[in-house]
């Protein structure tokens, strides 16, 4: 069942997360508007979303369904156009408070009055962005975990004036796309599970940067301990080390505690262009290995 009152979803920012969220939401039957400021990113998103949807509905009996889904996705080079008929708008631009405020203000200006505006930010509470909009009762943190097909769970958190109706609509929408809502009861930096993951990341980076152990041993230990097939360093490579750094800096800027500052060695890797899977090198060398960011891996599973 579709979430209450939500029929059209707009995705603002179609990078690593925007592309995945778009593919997932499209396969669940929602009409989708996708916008990115970069023409290259928008083109790449179109290719990615089309391929993932095609891979999900590739059997001959799904032909009609596939056509209908693809027809409901539109791509836009103007934000105003992309949000004009949206009921829910999800922002996934880079992790920068001023940028997110600017984007929220623009969405607020052009979206219909009833529309909910959500941020997919990994570390910025929407309460810090809400001043940029008039509809303070209609804002949310809606935070996805990547890759969505492996981690179908979404944190949901209010701003200071978010109405119960907005919250319940958001929660019902998350359930409607077959994800588990992780409800934040009281504003919390890092939401529900991201806060747990953050503690893991922070300690792992300290062990590595402090020269206490080889990162591969940390990953080996994690894999044995949890039964997962990837350890924290491989996961950070998948997320993107620039994104990890920005997120850690958000925590540091919030607390001002030097212990929260990400290690310089991580910044050095970023400056060398070693951003993880997306550049072929991060902690691990991914060149020539399977591309876990490709549509083949990311495609949503058909129910
Ligand atoms: N990477 C992850 O695993 C992950 C997981 C959950 C949440 N997040 C959050 O999602 C957000 C996006 O992260 P990402 O990894 O997709 O980053 P990304 O760099 O891959 O994508 C960001 C996209 O936003 C576009 N953009 C920049 N300025 C814009 C603007 N003004 N208007 C529209 N588009 C604009 C860029 O062109 C780019 O395509 C961040 O807030 C991040 O914290 C990331």
Q: Mind listing the pLDDT tens digit for each residue in 24-59? A: 999 999 999 999 999 999 999 999 999 999 999 988
Does residue 274 register a pLDDT over 90? yes
- pLDDT > 70 in the chain, percent: 97
Closest C-alpha to 204, from 186, 223, 191: 223
**Whose CA is closest to atom 27 on ligand 1?**
93
Spacing, Cα 15 to ligand 1 middle (Å): 5
Half-sphere exposure of residue 166, counting CA atoms within 13 Å on the CB side?
24
Spacing, Cα 38 to ligand 1 middle (Å): 12
Domain assignment of residue 121, yes or no: yes
Range of the domain at 38: 8-183
**Whose CA is closest to atom 7 on ligand 1?**
122
User: Are 213 and 97 within one domain?
Assistant: no
Helix axes 232-239, 193-209, angle to 10 degrees: 110
pLDDT at 236: 95
The pTM for the full model equals 0.89
The H or E element containing residue 183 is strand 180-183
User: Are 154 and 33 within one domain?
Assistant: yes
Q: Which residues of 175-212 are buried (b: 16+ CB within 10 A; e: fewer)?
A: ebbebebbebeeeeebbbebeebbeebeebbebbeeee
**Whose CA is closest to atom 37 on ligand 1?**
38
Handedness of CA 230, 93, 25, 55 (dihedral sign): negative
Tens digit of pLDDT for each residue in 76-108? 999 999 999 999 999 999 989 999 999 999 999
Spacing, Cα 165 to ligand 1 middle (Å): 27
User: Are 177 and 214 within one domain?
Assistant: no
User: Are 151 and 285 within one domain?
Assistant: no
User: Are 116 and 138 within one domain?
Assistant: yes
pLDDT at 4: 54
- Position 1 confidence tier, pLDDT thresholds 50, 70, 90: very low
User: Are 116 and 204 within one domain?
Assistant: no
> Which of residues 243 and 109 earns the better pLDDT score?
109
């Amino acid at each position: 069942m579709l979430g209450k009152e939500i029929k059209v979803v707009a995705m603002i920012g179609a990078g690593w997360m925007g592309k995945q969220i778009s593919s997932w939401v499209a396969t669940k039957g929602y009409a989708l508007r996708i916008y990115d400021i970069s023409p290259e990113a928008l083109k790449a998103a179109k290719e990615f979303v089309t391929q993932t949807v095609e891979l999900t509905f590739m059997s001959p009996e799904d032909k009609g369904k596939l056509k209908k889904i693809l027809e409901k996705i539109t791509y836009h080079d103007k934000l105003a156009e992309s949000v004009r008929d949206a009921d829910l708008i999800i922002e996934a631009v880079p992790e920068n408070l001023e940028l997110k405020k600017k984007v929220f203000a623009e969405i607020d200006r052009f979206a219909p009055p009833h529309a909910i505006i959500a941020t997919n930010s990994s570390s910025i509470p929407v309460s810090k962005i809400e001043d940029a909009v008039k509809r303070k009762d209609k804002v949310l943190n809606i935070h996805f975990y990547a890759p969505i097909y492996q981690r179908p769970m979404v944190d949901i958190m209010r701003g200071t004036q978010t109405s119960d109706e907005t919250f319940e609509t958001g929660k019902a929408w998350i359930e409607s796309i077959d994800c588990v809502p992780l409800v934040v009861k009281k504003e919390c930096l890092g939401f529900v599970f991201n806060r747990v993951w953050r503690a893991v990341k922070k300690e792992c980076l300290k062990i590595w940067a402090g020269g206490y152990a080889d990162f591969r041993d940390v990953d080996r230990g994690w894999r044995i301990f949890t039964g997962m097939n990837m350890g924290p360093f491989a996961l950070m490579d998948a997320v993107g080390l620039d994104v990890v750094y920005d997120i850690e800096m958000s925590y540091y800027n919030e607390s001002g505690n030097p212990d929260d500052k990400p290690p310089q060695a991580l910044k050095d890797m970023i400056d060398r262009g070693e951003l993880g899977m997306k550049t072929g090198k991060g902690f691990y060398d991914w060149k020539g290995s399977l591309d876990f960011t490709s549509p083949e891996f990311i495609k949503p599973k058909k129910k």
